[in-house]
Structure 1
Amino acid sequence: MVHSSFNKGVMLTLGVLFLALALAVGCSSDEDEPTAAAAPASATAAATPAYWQPTTDFYGAPVYGGHLRINYEDPLEHANLWGAHSGVTVRYRMPMMNSIVEEDPYQAGRIIPDLAKDWTEASDLMGLTINFEDGVKWHNGDDFTCEDARFTIETMVTGNGLTASEMAGKLSFIDTDATTCENDQTLKLQFKGPSATALLAFTDRAFLIFNKAWFEAGGEDAMFNDVSVGTGPFKWAAGQSVGVDEQVFERNMDYFKPGLPYVDKVTVFGILDESTQQASMLAHLTDWHWVRNFGQYDSYVEHDQIQTVIRATRGHHSIWLNKGNPPLDNQKVRQAIFMAIDRDAGIKILQDGHGSTGFIMPPGGPWDLTEAQGCAVKGWCPPSEGFEAQRAEAKSILEGENFPFDKTFVLTVEADEQVQARATFIQEQLRLVGVKTEFDLVETIAYRAQTADGSWGDILPRNDTMPADDPALGMGFYFRCVSPNNHWTPQLPCDDKAEALLDRAASTVDQGQRKAISDELQLYALDQFWKFPLYWEQEAVAFWPEVRGYAHHPQPSGAFVRWEQLWLDPSHKDDTGFTGQTSGVPGG
């Protein structure tokens, strides 16, 4: 069927802290507030595409102009989204690049065009034909062509030239040898088997199309360090270097989507210290913040001007045990270790109660296991006999398996304040059953390398986000052998049963059959104690009242961090009355 672009759907005193923020943030540019005045959208730009549906019922009509300042939680170390993916790389690349299609920033789950003008699905679901928008230009002035897209997909699938291809496992259904460009504007994709989820895969935050000539000239070094060549709504401002914790993006006046973006400039600030994040937001030195802890959340909720919205997300804190390191190769040992961790206590202590237990797929979603199914695997649900009894049983299992209580196990922990707090909770839970652990604290770039090449220690506590609520794409992200997010590989052989079930999930169209396959794979992963979500999160966003157009999404990185959908309306900058959670925010 044909889909038209028109219908497809050292802690500082507070005073010193604010002074530091004023120097580091407030004085970093010549424009610290939204522009004093802005014109209505209709007065300054051509009509936006028909599929573009701003949330005007809640926010009013879009206006143009202004400087949007984003409060982000990590140092802006590098920009290699394709071969060393992280949330930081998304913040660099998303504003200045595009995908083939994207998730609607105003309505999570709805797929809309991006570089694609329209597309046709093969009747047997064995392929897609993509027609691209006319006149798309790279920021260096070159024409975008189909070959850029074809080459990007081939590189993602094969991993040629990449440290660890983020998309390899998610695009394993594509037959790259049979995928061709019919002309400069038409891409014919061929699949290895039927796929009903290809377009969903193309909305992934790491599925950004790069310039073939740029990559052939600069290789992966360009991916790490050069943000100058994209097609997106914003251009990387001249004179900048990657690795600086303030990155400026300026409006692309030649953007192929008419009437977009709305703001003139976006600055992303990388602020690692969580108290500094909070102080900069409260001082209105930044405008928008994905909340990192519930102390921040409470302070924003109590503020009379800051709007705060929260929802259940696909974010979760995971615990991986390295099956390649004995005795963790013993399934009973892995089970006992997970049985020793009180998940309800984790939610209360680490999430202030804002979270839920669950299984492998997001709780409450269409692919979630029933309680009867998941709880049948001991260790996954709160014990009816009380947690102390389960903890005693866990220790008894370890003793029965001759567990080496004199050994100290290594927790590989990312040097991130939030992750360290969560890892400390896990360390204390294990101490209660006699398991000795020590931290190996690793800076982010080295940490990503270790998790990708399998050189991490014994226990890996980490923040994870399932990229899609779909069994093939979501579980494939963690369990596909070729995925850099499967932390049991490459140090272990592929799991043939998991690979076969993932292949079936990817190629099966009937939703009832897919649900049965999904259940089988989840129960297998539960029984293997492969990956253990300590909890599934509720996550919040806070923003000042002049920020308009935001809809809350179930993950912290996606098309909405392209920022093309937001506008700043100075007429709302003095609005008050927002103490408490803001109701009515789309997606909240």
Structure 2
Amino acid sequence: MHRWLSGIAGLVGVVVFLLTIAYGPAGSPTPTALVGMSPAAAQTPTAAPGEPFYLKAIDHDKAKRGGTLRLAAHGPPSMFDIYASGTIANVGAQAPMYDLLVRMDPRDPKLPIIPSLATSWTISADGMTYTFQLRKGVKFHDGTDFTADDVKATFDRIVFPPPGLISLRILPIKETGARDRYTVVMKLSEPRDSYTFLASLAGGWNVITSKKALDKYKGDLRQVDNFPGTGPFMYKTRTTESWEMVRNPNYWNPHVPYVDRIIQVWLKAWTPELAAALLGNQVDWAMWLDPSAYQKVKATANMSGLIWQAPNLAAWIGFNNEREPFNNVRVRRALHLALDQDAIGKIVQQFDPTVQLTDHLPPPYGKGYEDLIKEHPYAAATREKAIAEAKRLMADAGYANGISKTFNFVVRESPQNRQLAAYAQAEWERLLGVKTQLEVVQVSTMVDRQVAGTFDIISHAACLGGADLSATIRSCYSINKATGKKADSNFTNFRNSEFDKVLDRFSVEVDLQRKIQLGRQLNQILNAEVPATALLSSGRAYGWHNYVKGLPTVGGNSDYNTYQWDFVWLDK
């Protein structure tokens, strides 16, 4: 049996393998595909033996207290059920009001998992049962006590959503039980190494709320903007312009938060307005800067910038595989071949400096940019061949003269999505006689449309990733084994029995070489079936004024886990 204690460096578990992969653009941090444990050199923060762990800011002893942290947030969200959300408009805005069971260390993403509402945990010898000891004396913002029943209710909502509701997370949990008031037992549905499972729990979307609230609203939190949390900040006011939160005076961590108030100002990602607000000191920190703004931040005295990679499987254009004619693989492949995929990447790079052409799955399962750009259909030298093949496929599908129907093309409001969609629209009509009508929607509304499947084509079809690549692939392209139904993040409605069988083997394989071979089989099936196109890896470019202290100096492979803001302070 393995026990995590706050005074022990690193996580305890069987080290399987760590496979480092590089699929981001030059100069960006290297994402990590986790096949096993975190780096052995990583050190956990320590506490005195027998004492619970409490997070503190970098330079805690020098930290100033008070002030208002002004954040440029991507929003507003169209609803508030974070478990059913696939947008930063929710997790970015709502995370400060909540805690996780365990969390990534926000001060350095390369450190191991640290306690949050769980103070310690044990793992059974077969790795299939996790027992968590919970922090005592914690209260929700409505004054009710936090207990094991709340953890069970939360993860039941995530893993087994009630009828009519969705969850965009897949976790390999068979059962969550409350052994007593402050002990939670999780039984896994299939094997995972300890780091991968704990890091999955630490995903920023898995916030803990109260059983009382989940029972009251029957798990449906879409219209509840203040469902109870235990987090460092409490709800104050929300308008169409901003969301204000104030310091939780009864927070269980006596050291944090440092600032008195957070104001999240709604500013659209990658826009000139966002850049102007940050560079003009109207906000202290901003997410998702365009390339020009990011370079200005890096060149400005007393400002800093950082790029995070995203762990998502990013298909920027998805086809509804259940609707005609997109249920025909020849049509899907023709539409894919008609687009200059490298040109698509360059279109999006105008707005997002981290974007690059990629495969369906990251290396070593798929190929990276340098390999893809040399071969058909991505190489410039094979462009005419790709177009000719696209026309032949359309003819074989019975559409040699195009299609008379005009198809609905739902497009996220972000500027790069709009330009990308306009390019695809023009090329499909010019080369193949396929006409589309663009429908631009707000990001949260787009997620609703993705899940409902009320589209012919959609941009974009990226689904959220995390530490567990197997779960990410399953959520994007397969069924949710917990419910037996299509995964709620399988926005393209892709179904392939061979793919599902290989994925089942991939999910539980611990031998590195066999896992790589299975992953490559999955990638080959996706390349043959083409459920989506415009495959682009991406990240997020951030900027802030240097009086904001405590932020990490290196990016990790997911920024979704860093928005509680309990670890920063203002030096002004």
TM-score category, normalised to shorter length: 0.7 to 0.9
**2:182 corresponds to:** 185
Secondary structure at the counterpart of residue 345 of structure 1: helix
Letter in 1 for 2:436: T
Look up the equivalent residue of 2:304 and give its one-letter code: Q
For the Cα contact (< 8 Å) 2:256–2:566, is it kept in 1?
Answer: yes
Match of 2:48 in 1: none
1:482-523 alpha-carbon deviations (Å, 9 max, x no partner): 32210133xx7x533333333333333334433332222222
- Where 2:336 maps in the other structure, the secondary structure is helix
Q: Which residue of 1 aligns with 2:357?
A: 357
C-alpha offsets along residues 125-156 of structure 1, whole Å, 9 cap, x if unaligned?
21111111121111112110001111111122
Corresponding position of 1:396: 392
Q: Quote the offset at 1:69 in angstroms.
A: 0.8
Contact 1:126 1:194 in 2 (8 A): yes
Is 2:141 the partner of 1:102? no
Does structure 1 retain, via aligned residues, the 8 Å contact 2:197–2:468?
no
Cα deviations by residue, 1:281-324 (Å, 9 ceiling, x for unpaired): 22211111112422433443443343222354435452211222
Letter in 2 for 1:360: H
Residue 265 in structure 1 maps to residue 261 in structure 2:
yes
Distance 1:556 1:268 in 2: 20
Q: Contact 1:369–1:519 at 8 Å: present in 2 too?
A: yes
Does the Cα contact within 8 Å between 1:360 and 1:526 map onto a contact in 2? yes
CA–CA separation in structure 2 for the residues paired with 1:441 and 1:464? 17
Contact 2:199 2:467 in 1 (8 A): no
Q: Map of 1:129-168 to 2, 5 A cutoff?
A: 129-160=131-162, 163-167=165-169
Contact residue 463 and residue 475 of structure 2 kept, 8 A? no
Aligned to 2:94: 93
The alpha-carbon distance between structure 1 residues 548 and 487, as it changes in their structure 2 partners (threshold 3 A), is same
Residue 569 of structure 2: aligned partner: 567
1:327 maps to 325
Aligned pairs for 1:457-468 (under 5 A) are 457=456, 459-462=457-460, 464=462, 466-468=464-466
Return the offset for 1:250: 1.2
Alignment of 1:10-409 (within 5 A): 52=55, 54-55=57-58, 61-108=62-109, 110-160=112-162, 163-167=165-169, 170-171=170-171, 173-176=172-175, 179-196=176-193, 197-220=196-219, 222-227=221-226, 229-237=228-236, 240-241=237-238, 244-272=240-268, 274-314=271-311, 316=314, 318-352=316-350, 354-362=354-362, 367-370=364-367, 382-383=378-379, 385-403=381-399, 405-407=402-404, 408-409=406-407
Instruction: Give the Cα separation in 1 of the matches to 2:530 and 2:225.
Output: 41
- Shift in CA distance, 116/225, structure 1 to aligned 2, threshold 3 Å: same
Q: Distance in 2 between matches of 1:308 and 1:373?
A: 26
Q: Which amino acid aligns with 2:103?
A: E
Unpaired runs of 5+ residues, structure 1, are: 10-47, 571-588
Corresponding residue SS for 2:263: strand
Superposition deviation, residue 355 in structure 1: 2.9
Choose which of 412, 415, 429 in structure 2 pairs with 1:414: 412
Matched letter for residue 361 of structure 2: M
Change (3 A) 1:311 1:452: closer
- On the 8 A contact 1:546/1:569 being kept in 2, the answer is yes
CA RMSD of aligned residues (A): 3.0
Matched-pair contact (CA < 8 Å) for 2:317–2:534: yes
- SS of 2:317's partner is strand
Would the aligned equivalents of 2:492 and 2:532 in 1 still touch at CA under 8 Å?
Answer: no
Query: Number of aligned pairs?
Result: 514
Q: Does 1:483 align with 2:479?
A: no
Identity of aligned residues (%): 22
Alpha-carbon spacing, 1:339–1:470, altered in 2? closer, same or farther (3 Å): farther
- The aligned counterpart of 2:447 is 448
8 Å CA contact 1:300–1:307 kept in 2: the answer is: yes
Asked whether the equivalents of residues 377 and 526 of structure 1 are also in contact (C-alpha less than 8 Å), the reply is no
Q: 1:390 to 1:470 in 2, by over 3 A?
A: same
Q: TM-score, normalised by structure 2?
A: 0.82
Letter in 1 for 2:394: L
Distance between the aligned counterparts of 1:333 and 1:310, measured in 2? 37
Distance of 1:245 and 1:373 partners within structure 2:
43
* 1:187 aligned counterpart, secondary structure: strand
Report the Cα distance in structure 1 between the residues aligned to 2:488 and 2:136, rounded to whole angstroms.
Answer: 35
Say if 1:146 and 1:311 are closer, same or farther in 2 by CA, change over 3 A. Answer: closer
Cα distance change of structure 1 residues 554 and 336 upon mapping to structure 2, 3 Å threshold: farther
Structure 2 counterpart SS, 1:502? helix
Counterpart Cα distance in 2 of 1:445 and 1:282: 27
Partner secondary structure for residue 250 of structure 1: strand
CA positional deviation for 1:121: 1.3
| C-alpha contact (below 8 Å) 1:78/1:88 kept by paired residues | no
Rounded Cα–Cα distance in structure 2 between residues aligned with 1:558 and 1:411: 28
What CA deviation, in whole Å up to 9, does each residue of 1:151-182 have, x standing for no partner? 11112222116631122xx12x3222xx3211
**How far 1:569 moved relative to its partner?**
1.2
1:373 CA drift (Å) = 13
Which one-letter code corresponds to 1:226 in the other structure? D
**Equivalent position SS for 2:144:** coil
- Secondary structure at the aligned position of 1:119 is classed as strand
Cα distance change, pair 190–486 in 1 and its aligned pair in 2 (3 A):
same
Deviation at 1:223, TM superposition (A): 4.7
Q: Please give the alpha-carbon distance, in whole angstroms, between the structure 2 residues aligned to 1:99 and 1:537.
A: 26
Counterparts of 1:505 and 1:112, CA distance in 2: 28
Conserved 8 A contact 2:308-2:558: no
Q: Secondary structure at the match of 1:429?
A: helix
CA–CA distance in 2 between the matches of 1:368 and 1:507?
A: 16
- Give 3-state SS (helix, strand or coil) of 1:314's partner: coil
Deviations 1:404-447, CA, capped at 9 Å, x for gaps: 51433321113343422232232233344233222123344443
Residue identity in the other structure for 1:278? A
Cα shift readout 1:202-241 (whole Å, capped 9, x = no counterpart): 122221111001121234554532315211111112xx34
Tell me by how many angstroms 1:84 deviates: 4.0
Give the partner amino acid of 1:425. Y
- Counterpart CA distance in 2 for 1:558 and 1:311 is 10
Give the drift of 1:49.
Answer: 6.8
Counterparts in 2 of 1:50 and 1:444: CA distance versus 1, 3 Å: closer
* C-alpha contact (below 8 Å) 2:68/2:261 kept by paired residues: yes
User: For the structure 1 residues 75 and 212, does the alpha-carbon distance in structure 2 shift closer, same or farther, using more than 3 Å as the test?
Assistant: same
Aligned CA distance change for structure 1 residues 535 and 198 (closer, same or farther; 3 Å): same
Distance in 1 (CA, whole Å) between partners of 2:397 and 2:380 is: 25
